[in-house]
Amino acid sequence: MLHYAVVFFVIAVIAAVLGFGGLAGAAVGIAKILFFVFLILFVLSLIFGRRKV
């Protein structure tokens, strides 16, 4: 999931350089959402992932 966030960020940077403002904004929004979802899942896996039996 972090890979997809980075991919959308790169797409946003390329679109911004080429002057596609709307596309760049959309790609940045998607990258932010994916990054925060990844971050939340990572923290949850750290908290609940290690269970001793």
Predicted pLDDT at 12: 83
Residues in contact with 30: Cβ distance below 8 Å, sequence separation at least 6, in sequence order: 8
Over its length of 53 residues, how does the chain's per-residue pLDDT go in tens digits?
Answer: 678 878 888 888 888 888 887 878 888 888 888 889 988 988 888 888 876 66
Residues of 35-45 as b/e, b for ≥16 C-beta within 10 angstroms?
beeeeeeeeee
Domain spans, the chain: 2-48
Query: pTM to 2 decimals?
Result: 0.65
Predicted pLDDT at 52: 67
Using alpha carbons, list the distances in angstroms from residue 27 to 5, 18, 23, 42, 53: 9, 14, 6, 22, 43
DSSP state of 52: -
